[in-house]
Each structure stands twice: as C-alpha cells, then as structure tokens.
C-alpha cells in the first residue's frame, strides 16, 4: 500500500495488491480508487476467496495466483481451477463485471479450461517465452482461448 501513489503517479491505470500484503485491504482499495486507478486484489494459492467477501464489489480485477509466488516455471496448482470457477460464480451472482486474471503455470494445456471457468486475463511466462517464435506462440494461445 505504501507504493500506490508511486505507481499511479508513474502512469499505472490499475494497481493490484496482494491481499496478504496489507492489514487493511479495504483502505488500500479505497486509496487506489481515490487516486483514479482501477483496483485489483491478488490471492496466493492458499488464500481463501472469503477474503474478498466484503470488498469484491469494489474491485475491477481479481488475480488468482495458481503457483506460489517466487520463481517462473512452476506447475499449475490443480485446485486453482476450482477456485477460479467459484470466483466466477461469486462475480456472476453479484452481477459484477470484475475481471478474473490467472498467473502461474498457464500453458496451452489448461488455457481452454481456464477460459471456460471464467478467466478473462491469462498470464503466461515460461510456457510462452520458452517457445519462440513468439508470434506463433501467441496465436496458439489466442486460438485455444477463442475456441474455449
């Protein structure tokens, strides 16, 4: 939360904060919005969706970490798929337009299921950059997502 001003002043139009990194999540979200940026919350794999119960209506995006933060190349944690589906249902039940982003272990093998479960934004590091040429790899991801 101490860097919200710096990020927005540098031109960020969305700031995503890890729920685990702040004691006052609602205050941090309010500060991001007060600065004129969109607000998102990232959840580590072990963090339950219940953390979002009272702030989901204020969020523009939720980032589900599907690996433990720290280094690239980790395998997708399987229960993350259920977490995504449950978050998608929460968003629909409340009539919100909150985006769902997934980061960690995203590859062509799980892209379709992620999209079918409600993911709007996919982050892929090793499974993308490890397979040049990148224009072709991007087309692969886009085609899978489009057909999901």
- Is the confidence at residue 73, as pLDDT, over 90? no
**For position 1, what pLDDT does the model report?**
84
- Arithmetic mean of pLDDT, 94-105: 97
Q: What is the pLDDT of residues 24-54, one digit of tens each?
A: 999 999 999 999 999 999 999 999 999 999 9
Nearest to 112 by CA among 103, 104, 122: 122
pLDDT top residue among 141 and 2: 141
- Is the confidence at residue 143, as pLDDT, over 90? yes
Summary mean pLDDT of the chain: 96
**For position 72, what pLDDT does the model report?**
84
Structure tokens at 49: 């969706």
Torsion over CA: 143, 146, 147, 148 (sign): positive
> In 3-state terms, the chain is what percent helix, strand and coil (to 5)?
45, 15, 40
Nearest to 45 by CA among 73, 66, 15: 66
**For position 66, what pLDDT does the model report?**
97
**Confidence bin at 13 (pLDDT 50/70/90):** very high
CA-to-CA separations, 37 to 6, 58, 75, 133, in angstroms, rounded: 12, 12, 32, 34
Q: Identify whether the C-beta of residue 14 lies closer than 8 Å to the C-beta of residue 44.
A: no
Cα 26 to chain center, whole Å? 18
Q: Identify whether the C-beta of residue 41 lies closer than 8 Å to the C-beta of residue 16.
A: yes
Residues 6+ apart with CB under 8 A from 76: 66, 67, 104, 105, 106, 107, 110
DSSP state of 79: H
**Confidence bin at 71 (pLDDT 50/70/90):** confident
- Arithmetic mean of pLDDT, 94-106: 97
**For position 126, what pLDDT does the model report?**
94
Q: What is the pLDDT of residues 48-70, one digit of tens each?
A: 999 999 999 999 999 999 999 88
Cα–Cα distance measured from residue 57 to residue 44, given in angstroms and rounded to the nearest whole number: 20
């Amino acid at each position: 939360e101490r860097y919200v001003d710096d990020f927005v002043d540098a031109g960020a139009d969305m700031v995503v904060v890890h729920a685990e990194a702040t004691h006052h999540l609602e205050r941090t979200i309010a500060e991001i919005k007060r600065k004129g940026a969109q607000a998102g919350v990232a959840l580590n794999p072990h963090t339950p969706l219940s953390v979002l119960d009272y702030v989901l209506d204020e969020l523009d995006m939720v980032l589900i970490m599907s690996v433990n933060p720290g280094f690239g190349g980790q395998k997708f944690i399987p229960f993350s798929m259920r977490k995504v589906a449950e978050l998608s249902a929460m968003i629909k039940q409340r009539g919100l337009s909150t985006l769902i982003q997934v980061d960690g272990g995203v590859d062509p093998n799980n892209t379709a299921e992620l999209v079918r479960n409600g993911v709007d934004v996919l982050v892929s590091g090793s499974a993308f950059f490890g397979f040049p040429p990148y224009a072709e790899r991007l087309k692969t991801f886009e085609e899978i997502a489009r057909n999901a």
